[in-house]
Amino acid sequence: ALGFLFLVGLLDGFALPLYSRLLAEKEQLGRALGKAFFWDYGGALVASLSFPFIFYPYLGILKTSFLCGLANTFAALAIFFLVYQRKIILSQKTSFWLKAGVVIALLLNLIGFIKVSKIEPILQNNLYGRKEILFHQQSPYQEITFIKEQNGAIRLYLNGSLQFESGLWDASYHESLVHPAFAINPEAKNVLVLGGGDGLALREVLKYPQVKSVTLVDIDKKMVEAASQLDFMKAINQRSFEDKKVKVVFQDGLKFVGKTPEKYDIVIIDFPDATDDSLARLYSQEFYFWLGDILTKKGIAAIQSAGFLMPPQRVILKTLEATNLSTLSYHNPNKDLLTGLYSFGFTLASRQPISKDDFLEQKITVPTRVLRSENLADIFTNY
């Protein structure tokens, strides 16, 4: 894949010198270069804005790829037929194969663009190991795919990245994310969930009868709709979105935390890992400053922190400490018995000092599958 990208970039690098050369035949080189750079940067601006706001949300990545292929093929046709045929004398055989190559590329991209609905399932089957695809949808923000494993487990992929698997993974992850915060703040009544559009963290929060209000903030309406309408997801999240205590807000988490006047007893942060700039904002010092502002005096935040004490979690801990919040890292129960994808890291953050000793006598008062009162204190560590 990297080799292919390098080849595309290398060939694309010829475009600007070629365009400049063509313009220089009709006017001075300085003016030709000025025009070439103007249209190059102008085209880059249009493309960089139209891709995330128009093409990707409404066409998806595959259809957009074929559309870009069509645009480039038409450009090649224009240059070949309008320019080079007048300037370069080619043999009949070479001319035939050049024309044939451009026409074949045009047809392939055109067929791909029209038949993308039939091509996409084939590619998805190859990507997900030929498992049963229960649901697939392109939202303005991500590609949402639910698949069913051979053992019956349901998996969620966002942009091809695995997010959760029903069963042991679900229980180990979401119980660890939610219940330690409630163990140390058992009287919490007003709860905020950031991310978590699958409704699984929400399911755990709603186990506590003392909770009076839960606000879930997720930027992707399509994700929440899928989790609240698909029968297999309603069975997994126990219809958590139908609870009258729940209020769903479709907004960027950073903007919500920066503007909300509310104070929360517990904040559950279930964002994806910071794999790009837009997600990295949700792990920034600015975000954590605002997080501290919306916590009540005894409030506590539980933050999904990738792998336990791996570099991403250590960065989160250092960033939180820079905002003068007290932190405590922890992992899921029996992490040494679970390998690979089951080694989760979490971080508690509070305006008041917190330590492992605070959990020695605490109890989990609701039904759980993996995290229990007897192993609660064992999941915490000092770093």
Q: What are φ and ψ of residue 83, in 5° steps?
A: -120, -65
Question: b/e string for 101-126 if b means 16 or more Cβ within 10 A?
Answer: ebeebbeebeebbeebeebbeeebee
SS (H, E, C) 246-310: EEEECCCHHHHHHHCCCCEEEEEEECCCCCCHHHHHHHCHHHHHHHHHHEEEEEEEEEECCCCCC
DSSP tag of 241? G
Amino acid in position 364: I
Burial class (CB in 10 A: 0-12, 13-18, 19+), 226: buried
Could you give the maximum distance between any two Cα atoms of the chain, in Å? 87
Q: Nearest CA to 345 among 302, 376, 375?
A: 302
Closest CA to 134 of 240, 233, 59: 233
Q: Is residue 190 classed exposed, middle or buried when 0-12, 13-18 and 19+ CB atoms within 10 A define those classes?
A: middle
Count of alpha carbons within 13 angstroms of residue 243, beta-carbon side: 24
Catalytic residue among 270, 277, 293, 336: 270
- Which residue in the block uniquely carries the two structure tokens 């601006």? 45
CA-to-CA distance for 364 and 371, rounded, in angstroms? 8
Spatial contact of 198 and 156, defined as CB atoms under 8 Å apart: yes
| Cα gap 327→308, rounded to integer Å | 14
40 in active site:
no
Residues with catalytic annotation? Answer: 270
